[in-house]
Amino acid sequence: MIYNAQFVNEVLENFHNSFMAKKRRWCDIASIEPEGSNYKKKLYQLLYTLRYFPAYYLEYCVLADALRQRVSGKYNNLNVASFGCGICPDYYALKDNLAGVKFQYVGYDRCEWSSQKYLPEISSNNFSFEFFTTDSFELGDLDDVDVFVFPKSIGDIAAGDGLEHLANVIASTKKEKIFFLNSYVSNGSENMSSNAGYFNVVHNALESEGFITSDKVSTAQYKGKFGAGLRSIEYNFCYPEKFLITCDNQGTKTLCGHCGVVKRPVMTNRFMEYQILEYVRE
Ligand SMILES: C[S@@+](CC[C@H](N)C(=O)[O-])C[C@H]1O[C@@H](n2cnc3c(N)ncnc32)[C@H](O)[C@@H]1O
């Protein structure tokens, strides 16, 4: 598996610089959680990226490497659709790990994620981002997709009541084999999150269209021993101290008691929860 630490450092540097320049507005997002329309706030996108990007990119690298092992030598080209892609850490994970397997990636998100402009430029033409809600898909729209990705997004899609519709569009495919790279928002414990259960909606729709899988839908993984530091899982993982957020005014306001800005980024596998599923027609 390839974890591109140089790339992650560049991302952190760009987002950190931009976030530091907006210090005066930090308190506006101090109580914000990663959910709903909060992703629309540009300042929150910067904070979200600083906190989660390295850990999530690592998790998607694990999934991309697992996909490579299954498809290598069997596909000339893979069509990938990612739902709730954000700034698309999963695209970079696929790019870095699908070694030799060509792919076309389309990432869909109902937020514009304008902070994408702080990412290193993508030189290949296999990437596109669609500002699009999955509720607007129509039957047939996803017929050419081989790999579906839910990158920490299925809970948000379900919360908007659109999961059943998306499941039906996916399940109406004419493909004989499709893959799912699922990564769930973990509850921080060893037990599977309620988030993971949402995939049953997709599984049931696929079953009713004659798909089966020999992968275990009811289990998800975290790499290594539970609670392990990400550096112990992937030697190249590194979160430079200079990119951690510190605030000169810490402790001066009531808001500081539950501040979500001065918070450590994800550094352990406690928030990993992933599975790769391969479905074929019976
Ligand atoms: C937890 S974030 C994950 C972002 C990104 N995949 C990552 O790994 O950092 C969930 C994303 O799903 C998006 N989302 C939620 N419901 C959606 C829908 N129905 N259609 C498209 N995007 C959706 C949100 O806007 C948000 O960007």
Domain range summary for the chain, segments of one domain joined by +: 5-225+265-281
Which CATH superfamily is 5-225+265-281 part of?
Vaccinia Virus protein VP39 (3.40.50.150)
pLDDT at position 53: 98
Task: Please tell me the residue having the least CA distance from ligand 1 atom 12.
Answer: 84
Q: Which of 156, 170, 182, 273 to mutate to test the pocket of ligand 1 (most atoms within 8 A of CB)?
A: 156
Pocket residues: Cβ below 6 A from ligand 1: 34, 39, 52, 56, 83-86, 89, 108-111, 133-135, 151-153, 156-157, 160, 162
Q: Report the atom number in ligand 1 closest to the C-alpha of 166.
A: 19
- State residue 195's pLDDT score: 86
CA 130 from chain center: how many Å? Answer: 15
Q: Whose CA is nearest to atom 13 of ligand 1?
A: 84
User: Contacts from 225-232 at CB under 8 Å and sequence distance 24+?
Assistant: 226/190, 226/269, 226/270, 227/268, 227/269, 227/270, 228/268, 228/269, 229/267, 229/268, 229/269, 230/54, 230/55, 230/58, 230/266, 230/267, 230/268, 230/269, 231/267
Question: What is the rounded CA–CA span in Å between residue 44 and residue 29?
Answer: 6
Q: Walk along the chain (282 residues) in steps of 10 and give the mean pLDDT of each run.
A: 98 98 97 94 98 98 98 96 98 96 97 95 93 97 98 96 97 98 93 90 98 96 95 97 96 94 96 97 91
150 CA to centre of ligand 1 in angstroms: 9
Mutation test residue for ligand 1: of 51, 56, 153, the one with most atoms within 8 Å of CB: 153
**Mutation pick for ligand 1 pocket among 109, 112, 201 (CB with most ligand atoms within 8 Å):** 109
**85 Cα to the center of ligand 1, angstroms:** 6
Residue 130 has φ and ψ, to the nearest 5°, of -115, 125
Cα-to-centroid distance, 10 and ligand 1 (Å): 23
pLDDT at residue 100, as a whole number:
85
14-26 exposure pattern, b = at least 16 Cβ within 10 A, e = fewer: bbbebbeeeeeeb
Pick from 203, 235, 238: nearest CA to 218: 203
Name the residue with the closest Cα to ligand 1, atom 27: 86
| Spacing, Cα 158 to ligand 1 middle (Å) | 11
Residue 250's φ and ψ, nearest 5 degrees, are -55, 130
The pair of structure tokens assigned to 268 is 């352990």
Candidates 2, 1, 7; CA nearest to 122 is 7
Q: What angle do CA 233, 237, 240 make, to 5 degrees?
A: 140
